[in-house]
Structure 1
Amino acid sequence: MRHLGKWKRALIGTIVGGIVGITQSSWVDPDTPAAEKVPQRRALTPGDDRHYGLVFSDEFEIDGRMFNDGYDPRWTAINKNDYTNKALHFYSSENAKTKNGVLTILTEQKENSYKAFDETKKTFYADKKYIQSAMLQSWNKFCFVGGIIEFRAKLPGDPKIGGLWPALWMLGNLARATYVGSSDYMWPYSYNRCDTRTRISQEIDACAKVNHYGMQAYTGRGAPEIDIIEAMQGEAGKLPSTYIQRPYQSTSLQIAPGVEIDRPILGKRPHEGHWYEDLDYGNSTNVTVDLNPFFYGVTLVHKPKQYTYQADAISANLQLNDTHYNSMHLYRVEWEPPAEDGSGGYLRWYTDEKFVFGINGDSLSIMQSEIPSEPMYLLMNTAVSSSWGFPAPCPDNCECECFECGNPACQCALPTDYCSNFPASFDIDYVRVYQAVNESRHILGCSPESRPTEKWIEGHAQRYMEEGDKAPLRPLQTGGMPCEKDRDCGGKLHGICVSGRCACEDGYTGPSCLAHAGFYDEDTGAHPEPFLCKLTNRHHACSPV
């Protein structure tokens, strides 16, 4: 590929290890207010007086953006069935749109037929789902290690009706959400010790002395998860072992290996010495927070039995109210990675700039796991799951696997008024990421030198793809959408219509020239060739470059 202007680069599998100076990254949306681009003290964590610079933002100000694979430099809206967490939805890029300055994730009743896979019989079969929603991922496009992550969002649906599962979260780049082949034996490990107990179940363990796929020898790797918000809604009323009621926000760190002996019982509080200690809860005026007794993690069952392993969720719940569902609120996490030896680091969650929950590295000593140091990417989605806000246990004499609205046989298994909650809109005003200036622990890139992922993903590409895909991600398309007028291409500032095709101005990309370009200021990765419609003297040429 011959040299292009930086904004024109395809961003699949980008590798970089940049440290933030004044503004290291060109992932910053030009529509972000100028004051947010000036490095200054931004942390809410006591004692953190470092200056933070903006390294990524998306303000969603341009109407009509599309997030199909290859259409946007920052996000991919997946088109596939979700078969994790007892999901009842199908994800479609059609359900992610920008309008009036916000990104809307629409969850609606819509039937989807698809080919599913039976893990027991190892065969495909025809299946269908009745809810359609959207998930956007920055997987293998924009990733980072450490910093401040902030979303401004309005939650979807009626807070008194259960079933919706909106989430803003982060995941290690070695696992791609909903692509289970990529997450098996990878999620949610954050463990860097050579341990015979975990060596079988942690695919990239710290015992390996050979650096396959560019990995560092004797370095354990994985894909931990940081949940900034998972919102639970439903009928109010006292819940067991907590003073929190629905609706509430769950904030969590999910890591492995997990506690295996004398684990807490769901719905009850843990016994002293059998769970993570010295966790910090942020109860104060107008803030009600408690340990989350409803989710301590999952057992990932595999055959033979020695491949089974335990994942832990270290989680707290914050009481929400109706305003979180009818107006915008701020959701933030401050993530400080550990030192090179794995010690220290922290995570601290804030909602509307009020402290919610904190985990220090020392609190993880029970299993000797670590605060994440993996390059992580951003996710935004609304799921629907029979394990989230549905009647539990399912009533007797009920068709418990029937979830179709309008089918009388299904009603007993659904939350009260569940079907009236559709369509529901999850509105996101902006996403911003800040990193401390000249802080060596804060790194940009999906495959930094200290935690590479590029060669691993290339060598296991099928794990990150659907059947029939040619690659995990398509090359970024710049221009080329059929058009009649310049406004179909965003207007003269973004792109114009030339000979019936959109041609983009510098700084804009996507088939209709509606997305601000995004790229790392330093880029040494190998990329597929982009599809480019370049504007030259009001003539266009559309081709790989």
Structure 2
Amino acid sequence: MPGPDRQYQAVGNSSPSSSRVDLVPRTPNNRTSFLDASPYDSNRSRVPSSVSSKFSLTVNPERWNIVLSPNEKEPDDHLHNPDPRRDHSYDNRFVVSRRGIANMGCLVLLVSALLGLFAGYPIASYFLSSIQSTSGGYNLGGTNATGQVADIGNFGLIDKDTPEDAYTLTSLTDGMTEYELVFSDEFNVDGRTFWPGDDPYWEALDLHYWQTDDLEWHSPKAITTKNGSLQITLSKQDAASNHNLSYQGGMLTTWNKFCFTGGIFVASVKIAGSNDVVGLWPAVWTMGNLGRAGYGASLEGLWPYSYDTCDVGTVKNQSRSGVPAAAVDGTGDIYNSGALSYLPGQRLSRCTCSGQSHPGPVHSDGTYVGRSAPEIDVFEATVSGTTGQVSQSGQWAPFDYQYIWQNTSENYIVYNTTATSYNTYMGGAYQQSTSSLTDTNQGCYQLNGTGCFATYGIEYVPGFAEDDAYITWINNDKAAWTLKAAGMGADSKTNISARAVSQEPMYLITNLAISESFGSIDWDALEFPAIMSLDWVRVYQQKGSTNIGCDPTGFPTAAYIEEYSEAYTNPNYTTWASYGQSFPTNSYLGEC
């Protein structure tokens, strides 16, 4: 048997089929001992040496060329060999050094800055920032369709070009009450345009005003500013390129952008055409913001109501099962089978059942406030013989018997009977009208005048007789006539209650149109293009009683308009039903 100091290796013969194995002593190959033989030694291998074998250590640590005795010191021993006597001087020192304080200070500053940026600043901004109200508007402070900003010198409600002596105005009704300017536009910047998104306050319509059988297409192309005034042009057009209509006109409004409730609205106007040729339809007027002029679905059941009572006045045709008799006795509109009313009923009435869609608010008894889109016309220009006149009126619903309002001397006041007369047109099946005709300043016309501008306007206090409400119409910078709210009081014949002088937020409208429904047209004498010019528009309210904005707390509109936005943006919806909606249920009809 081989001894323990021997190692053997098997060596095979040359024949692969042979099974004999020879045991041959394994020698140390001239090394001092077997300890010197590293398993990585190149001499053990029959293959060439590799890179790894060059850097391999032998199994004998004595050949590693390092200090193996713990008694021998190395240069870095002080890093890991503690010395109590040497370290004692450090143990009693203050643990925080100046360098440590500096490091901690930097960390504290960094953390504080991050907290301030991502926590403190947003919180402070939330509680301290003042967010400008859009007042129900879509543009200034709200939504601008194109992101453009109008070049009108400033973005305030008061035009910087308005002279300071126009900042206040005394009531033309009582001659005492002081009013202050809340909105103005002087139109001094030429070249303004009024496509959607172009202007913070005004927007021109792009549609056919079918409600009054107009012969023109209203286009933003017809409206601009020139020579320091707003100009609306009515012109002949090729019908093939003008929506199959032979005329192009313009209508400009502040709908859902600027509204006011009560006050004085005045405009300086040069009327289109001549003072002795009939056929044009220039107008300046106002309407409640819940109805958008030209958009039939938004208007149905709201125009021209101004009513806050739950009774027969809120229902279709202003009658129920033939009651009251005054509504069905054939003494109404002679052009509509003698019917008193063809209105569909007040869509947002005080009779609206609880839980139905309604903009609110709610009375103390839980019923909704009656809401609507009233109309007050500053003027509609016409001609009587060879004299230019303006019809200045209010439109109402529900209707008095035979459309005769209580025009007593207390309720109907004319300031100059020579210039102003009662308008015999009192309405029809779709509206009741309170109107007077007043001679204009004959020089303030486009073609045969002196080039002057005349001031037209309205002054009104919202509400009922108990609120001392009234409307005063202004012609040539003077009061023309006044309607007291008592004139639109209850009517026992038609079983309706009082109608209010508009309490709704009202927006401004001006347009130039042509329609045979307004009156006869002298086609031979009319000259085109016809241009109506507005030098400026201004709105005043009593000092300390400012109420501007299209979404006031007492008469909100924004949420309702947003909910039914297509009715206010798509003129192809001509009725509420065509928009796919139905009127809210009515408690008077027992529908709740």
Give TM class, smaller chain: 0.5 to 0.7
**Bigger CA radius of gyration:** 2
The reply on whether 1:255 has 2:396 as its aligned counterpart is yes
1:406-447 superposed Cα distances (whole Å, 9 cap, x missing partner): xxxxxxxx52524x42111101000000111112xx511101
* Ranges in structure 1 where 5+ consecutive residues have no aligned partner: 17-24, 116-126, 237-245, 265-273, 301-310, 391-413, 470-545
* Residue of structure 2 in register with 1:395 after alignment: none
Would the alpha carbon gap of residues 101 and 15 (structure 1) be closer, same or farther in structure 2, given more than 3 Å must change? Answer: closer
Instruction: Give the letter for the 1:225 counterpart.
Output: E
Cα distance between partner residues in 2 of 1:445 and 1:255? 23
Q: Secondary structure at the match of 2:238?
A: strand
2:464 is the counterpart of 1:335? no
- 2:408 pairs with 1:277: yes
1:459 alignment partner, one of 563, 568, 587: 563
Verify the 8 A CA contact 2:135 2:257 in the aligned structure 1.
Answer: no
Q: Which amino acid aligns with 2:433?
A: A
Give, as a single letter, the amino acid of the residue that structure 2 aligns with 1:313. Answer: S
Q: Which has the higher strand share?
A: 1
- Output aligned runs, 1:148-163, within 5 Å: 148-163=264-279
Shift, 1:44, TM fit: 1.4
- In the TM superposition, residue 50 of structure 1 has moved relative to its aligned partner by 3.3
Of 134, 147, 157, the residue aligned with 1:27 is 157
Q: Which of 360, 366, 369 matches 1:219? A: 369
Question: Is the 8 Å Cα contact of residues 406 and 486 (structure 2) preserved in structure 1?
Answer: no
Tell me what 1:363 maps to: 487
The answer to whether the Cα contact below 8 Å between 1:112 and 1:132 also exists between their aligned partners in 2 is no
> Is residue 354 from structure 1 mapped to residue 478 from structure 2 by the alignment?
yes
The one-letter code sitting in structure 2 at the alignment partner of 1:232 is: T
Provide the secondary structure at the position in 2 that maps to 1:227.
strand
Matched, 1:131 2:131: no
One-letter amino acid matched to 2:377: D
Matches within 5 A, 1:271-420: 275-278=406-409, 279-284=411-416, 287-293=418-424, 295-300=425-430, 311-320=431-440, 322-325=442-445, 326=449, 327-338=452-463, 343-367=467-491, 368-390=498-520, 414-418=521-525, 420=526
* Whole-angstrom CA distance in 2 between matches of 1:425 and 1:148: 25
1:12 aligned residue: 138
SS at match of 2:237: strand
1:233 maps to which of 383, 402, 409: 383
Aligned-pair identity in percent equals 32
- 1:101 is aligned to 228
Displacement after TM superposition at 1:255 (Å): 1.2
Q: Secondary structure at the match of 2:221?
A: helix
Pair 1:7–1:210, CA change in 2 (3 A): closer
1:210: Cα distance to partner? 2.8
Contact 1:12-1:140 at 8 Å conserved across structures: yes
Work out whether residues 342 and 370 of structure 1, in 8 Å CA contact, stay in contact via their aligned partners in 2. no
Give the secondary-structure state (helix, strand or coil) at the position aligned to 2:402: coil
- SS of 1:28's partner is coil
- Partners of 1:343 and 1:370 within 8 A in 2: no
* Offset, 1:107: 0.7
SS at match of 2:210: coil
Per-residue deviation, residues 183-228 of structure 1 (Å, max 9, x unmatched)? 1110011111111342450001112353645411321111111101
Please tell me whether the aligned partners of residues 161 and 233 of structure 1 are also in contact (alpha carbons under 8 angstroms): yes
1:45 matched to 2:173? The reply is yes
The superposition leaves residues 286-325 of structure 1 with CA deviations (integer Å, 9 ceiling, x where unpaired) of: x5111111x222313xxxxxxxxxx211000002353131
| Alignment partner, residue 75 of structure 1 | 202
* Misfit runs of 4+, over 4 Å: 2-10, 13-16, 112-115
Greater helix proportion: 2
- Higher relative contact order (CA closer than 8 Å, sequence separation 6+): 1
Report if the CA contact (8 A) 1:81-1:114 is conserved: no
Conserved in 2, the CA contact under 8 Å of 1:15 and 1:445?
Answer: no
Q: Distance in 2 between matches of 1:9 and 1:26?
A: 14
After superposition, the CA RMSD in angstroms is 2.9
- In the other structure, the counterpart of 2:257 is 141
428, 435, 443: which is aligned to 2:541?
Answer: 435
The code of the aligned residue for 1:338 comes to: G
Cα 1:373–1:88 change in 2 (3 A) is same
Amino acid at match of 1:223: A
Give TM-score scaled by structure 1 length: 0.66
Q: Residues 233-290 of structure 1: CA distance to partner in whole angstroms, max 9, x if unpaired?
A: 2643xxxxxxxxx42111001111012x3346xxxxxxxxx654344343538x5111
Number of residues of Structure 1 aligned to a counterpart in Structure 2: 388
Gaps of 5+ in 2: 1-124, 143-154, 317-344, 363-367, 492-497, 574-592
For 1:291 and 1:90, how far apart are their aligned partners in 2? Answer: 32
| CA distance in 2 between partners of 1:342 and 1:173 (Å) | 25
Output one character per residue of 1:480-506: Cα deviation in whole Å (capped at 9) or x when no partner: xxxxxxxxxxxxxxxxxxxxxxxxxxx
